[in-house]
Amino acid sequence: MCANERCAQPLTADRCEHCGIANRAGKWTVERVLAQSAHSRVYVAHDGAGQVVALKELHFALVPGTQEIDAFEREARTLEALQHPATPRFVERFTEGTGVGLRLYLATEFVRGESLAQRLSRGPLPEAEVLQLGRQLLAVLIALQQRSPALFHRDLKPANVMFREDGSVVLVDFGSARSVEGSRTHRSTLVGTFGYMPPEQLGGTVDRTSDVFALGATLLHAVTGRVPSELLTSEFQLTVPGSVSPSLRAWLQRAMAFERTARFADARAALEALEGRGPRARSPRRQWLVLAGLVAVLLGVVVVNAQELAESSPVSVPAALQPGAAGWFARVKSGCNQLEVSGVMARTPPPAGIDGAGYGAGCYALAGRHAEARRLIETLPAGSARTNAAWRVFEIAHPVADQGEDSAAGPMMELVLEYWPENYQALYHAGIAEYAGGDTTRARQRLEEFLQRYTAKDFFTDQARLVLDRLDKGLPADPAMGLGRH
């Protein structure tokens, strides 16, 4: 029977005589058609050993020009050379037929899952997932840019980003990819998708900032649910809505800057800027203002947080009246102590979902019941869901650390780091708390990692270096230092 559901005619040969769909090509038996155009098709096919592939077929005689053939050949060469875990695995390429019957074939790994475009059809992604997606795609772009010559994808967009069934990301469709010997190329063939590609690509110019721009536009679409073309100004610049958190907004604005010189220099620089930001993690420089000693810093936090709230929420709603998990936590917070927490959880359990698990774990952690907090987080799937729950615990633990409650803040920050190890703010607070509590080995480990991840010269790096210096000298924590109070 023909693999084309609309045809479904009996087969007497390797190709349907009615619609032209292949039944067999090379060693591959066609299961179904994934996509087709006037001159090409993509099949799901398998061989005798059960290997399943995406089989791309190009009908040579029907191709309108050399550009389509070049793209087909470029993708085959690129994937064969790459063999990267986040790109489709190359299997084989071959031809069949002669003359008007000549067809070109490319067999690659069949990525089971859905595209980012399909996922966004159901709505925008949580910011934690957007950040994780950005990190994974930047790792791919770094691998491409480190090649010699460097390789530029030139058409990064949601339709070309796939999620495997295990949640890992795959960058697909390398038909537009281009190897570049120097720092950039001019007057190349115009490829790409309007809204996602940078303005200079319209003129055929691409460099190491081009794919980073397209990634920024892709993440902008993911976090807002709106295609970039809807967010273009009259000057052809992409705007980032105020609903996006300040730290991610700043990163996106730089990635998508109109002038190339204002962008991240390459994918590695972009990843370094994004690393450690976690779900809505904020820069200590922005979040904590050193104004006139430690008390002024604490006041600065209130000012900045109030400003960020005003930017993102036009109407202020008391937390206890908010719906969902945030409102639940505001109502039960007073009972999140060792004596009352069991009764609170039994009478009014947290709402289902990631935020519910996060706020519930935060309540348990405030009460010192870290095993219960951990079990609640681990009811969620491993990966970004647990990281997002840890974000809620961090938001609850952060004020505790700022108030100098080291005995409570330290274990809470350690819990956060189990599921969000790159959170440099948690590393700082955990290190300071461990030092105050006498665990010098753990304090050194946490503070050294904090200094690796956060390199700004400010109160926090000064304090971390001061503690490490005291550790080198074998000195205990000095209450006069005010450790934990910022």
Q: Of 171, 277, 381, 295, which Cα lies nearest the Cα of 286?
A: 277
CATH 3.30.200.20 segments of the chain: 24-109
pLDDT score recorded for residue 240:
95
CATH 1.25.40.10 segments of the chain: 286-481
Q: Are 159 and 118 in contact (CB under 8 A)?
A: no
Q: What is the pLDDT of residues 161-216, one digit of tens each?
A: 999 988 899 999 888 888 876 555 444 444 668 889 888 887 778 889 999 999 99
286-481 adopts what CATH topology? 1.25.40
Q: What is the C-alpha separation between 132 and 222, in angstroms, rounded?
A: 12
CATH 1.10.510.10 segments of the chain: 113-274
Kindly report the backbone phi and psi dihedral angles of residue 315, in degrees, each rounded to the nearest multiple of 5, phi listed first. -125, 130
pLDDT tens digits, the chain, 486 residues: what are they? 556 555 666 655 677 765 678 889 999 999 988 888 878 899 999 998 989 999 999 988 888 777 788 888 888 988 998 888 899 999 999 999 888 788 999 999 999 999 999 999 999 999 999 999 999 999 999 999 998 889 999 999 999 999 998 889 999 988 888 887 655 544 444 466 888 988 888 777 888 999 999 999 999 999 999 999 889 886 778 999 999 999 999 999 999 998 888 999 999 999 999 985 434 333 333 333 333 333 333 333 333 333 333 333 333 333 333 457 888 888 888 888 888 889 889 988 999 999 899 999 999 998 889 999 999 999 999 888 898 899 889 888 877 766 556 566 788 899 999 998 888 888 988 888 888 878 889 889 999 998 988 877 777 788 889 999 999 988 877 654 544 444
pLDDT score recorded for residue 429:
87
Report the CATH architecture of 24-109.
2-Layer Sandwich (3.30)
Q: Are 454 and 486 in contact (CB under 8 A)?
A: no
113-274 adopts what CATH topology? Transferase(Phosphotransferase); domain 1 (1.10.510)
C-alpha 160: how far from its chain's center? Answer: 15
